[in-house]
Amino acid sequence: MNKIFETPIYEYARSSDQDAVAPVRHSVVVVGAGPVGLAAAIDLAQQDIPVVVLDDNDKVSFGSRAICFAKRPLEILDRLGCAQPMVDKGVVWDTGKVFRDTRQIYGFELLPESEHHRPAFINLQQYYFEEFLVRRIRELQAAGKPVDLRGGNHLAAVGQHDTYVSLEIDTPEGPYNLEAEWLIACDGAKSATRTMLGLDFEGRVFEDNFLIADTIMEADFPTERWFWFDPPFNRGQSALLHKQPDNVWRIDFQLGWNIDREEELKPENVRRRLRAMLGEETKFELEWTSIYTFQCCRMEKFRYGRVLFAGDAAHQVSPFGARGANSGLQDTDNLVWKLKLVLDGKAPDALLDSYSDERVLGADENLLNSTRSTDFITPKSEASRNFRDAVLDLAEAYDFARPLVNTGRLSLPCIYDGSSLNGPDCAGLPPNLRPGAPAVDAPLADGWLLERLGNRFQLLAIGAPAPSDLEDGGITVETLKVDAAANQTLARRYLGDEKAAIYLLRPDQHVVARWREFDRDAVIAALKTATARV
């Protein structure tokens, strides 16, 4: 069994801040060293923004946590310099199958289109995911980047002020105080930061229980996502099977609401369920078991003064659809470039309001999909169950009914329609790349498009003349020129039936605006809009 989760990897070490006469003020402090907090720290450090990460633990996470990481977060992690080892270690998959009883109703592919750098999904235990993020932080530290990861530092108190946030930190050697110009709270579903500021969630709790059994076994199941309705080994309920690295399999059993948790978690009862599913001859070992309920909820907004909330600290969804950690990584991807412009004095702090607006939109999209998935999987009325069963009956025989089967609409990136940062659009270009949408990947002669995009404002000039760069208000826009004839896949994805186009892209690779030809005044106006300078 892998023991990485038992080994301290960012142990407590005394900081010079603890010996300072007055509290030391830092540009950014991140609370929480889970995937979201670590990703935020990497993004900040890569852009030379000094950041301190505080966590009361000193180890990576273990237990019933995230395992499914989608294509868009992998593309974000590419920009952070740590996607490849995750893909190398992870289990790559893009196929799912849905069963009812013992019969397969249908199967589906998540990325039927070829010529993308990253796969639709990988499965990777969160402890490995966090280990790779910590390794990346160590690489940045070795390169002299300004990131400080402090284990054994527990946030005990937080106070809001006009120009900074005050923090009281408990350590094994006693308390000390810090100040932060900006605080990013990534301290999880039970966020102490949120509680200390008197803030709360709004949403819905689902009355159901699920048993997770992370099981080590050598099995001949294919590398696919299998979901069962009413299987013979869990009658009247559902089940889910996913493969992870190291021959670990994530198995979920729906249990219902009125259960004896202590009884269900007894190893002999968990093994009984697994033998009923896997057969008496299958040899297995339990790595982890737990029972969870969940809620679909979010904070009213994600910015409160100089405190910015991200990940589970800001929003929570059911696990169906892999929308938790994936959404959190998109939070920090949206936030950090805006925070950099504010810290550099190139944009007003009103730009950070758009972080809340856009990611609340993303959270609401996830909450809607997650709630619908949960209602389909766990109907709470006779009418809902009859509808669900009728859909399953039809789906087995008719293609039209299969999109109605909802075992968890899998995570997709949010398009920020209606964002205050969006500029003008151009009719005739592909609608999936309208303002607010993330760029899609495509092969280039020397690599991949998304490897060339991000971390700054850019013009993507496809078959259209444009200057090499332009500048406004201290913000430089670089131009990537692409020959449409020589890059036909890219041209098809970005031009549709048009012959040429100019795209203005944000540092997080989302589209700001697009035109058929370059117009300097129009580009500058869209840049001002995208940086809240109008």
What amino acid occupies position 316?
Answer: Q
Using alpha carbons, select from 397, 523, 505, 415 the residue that is nearest to residue 460: 505
**Binning pLDDT at 50, 70 and 90, where does residue 372 land?**
confident
**Binning pLDDT at 50, 70 and 90, where does residue 317 land?**
confident
Q: Is 35 helix (H, G, I), strand (E, B) or coil?
A: helix
Ramachandran angles phi, psi of 478, nearest 5°: -90, 155
Q: Where are the domains of the chain?
A: 4-9+25-90+120-201+297-366, 431-530
Q: Say if residue 3's pLDDT is above 80.
A: no
Q: Which two tokens stand for residue 25?
A: 């003020």
Task: Say what the pLDDT of residue 63 is.
Answer: 67
What is the average pLDDT across 237-257? 92
CA angle (79 as vertex; 532, 436 as ends), nearest 5: 40
The DSSP call for residue 47 is T
**Environment class of residue 365 by beta-carbon count within 10 Å: exposed (0-12), middle (13-18) or buried (19+)?**
middle
All residues at 6 or more sequence positions from 383 whose CB lies less than 8 Å from its CB, including other chains: none
What is the average pLDDT across 486-508? 96
Read off the pTM: 0.94
CA 520 to chain centre: 35
Using alpha carbons, select from 74, 37, 69 the residue that is nearest to residue 411: 69
470 or 316, which is more confident?
Answer: 470
Q: Tell me which of 289-293, 333-337, 413-417, 455-459 is least confident.
A: 289-293
Mean per-residue pLDDT of the chain = 92
All residues at 6 or more sequence positions from 381 whose CB lies less than 8 Å from its CB, including other chains: none
CATH code for the structural domain at 4-9+25-90+120-201+297-366? 3.50.50.60
Ramachandran angles phi, psi of 177, nearest 5°: -115, 150
Q: Which two tokens stand for residue 474?
A: 């201290």
**Environment class of residue 113 by beta-carbon count within 10 Å: exposed (0-12), middle (13-18) or buried (19+)?**
exposed
411 or 405, which is more confident?
Answer: 405
Task: Say what the pLDDT of residue 1 is.
Answer: 44
Per CATH, 4-9+25-90+120-201+297-366 and 431-530 having the same topology is answered no
The DSSP call for residue 452 is G
**Binning pLDDT at 50, 70 and 90, where does residue 378 land?**
confident
Task: Say what the pLDDT of residue 321 is.
Answer: 61
300 or 201, which is more confident?
Answer: 300
Q: Which two tokens stand for residue 122?
A: 């990988």
Q: Tell me which of 60-64, 225-229, 271-275, 356-360 is least confident.
A: 60-64
The domain made up of 431-530 is a member of CATH 3.40.30.120: yes
What are 420-465's pLDDT values in tens digits?
Answer: 999 999 999 999 999 999 999 999 999 999 999 999 999 999 999 9
What is the average pLDDT across 468-482? 96
Q: Is 137 helix (H, G, I), strand (E, B) or coil?
A: helix
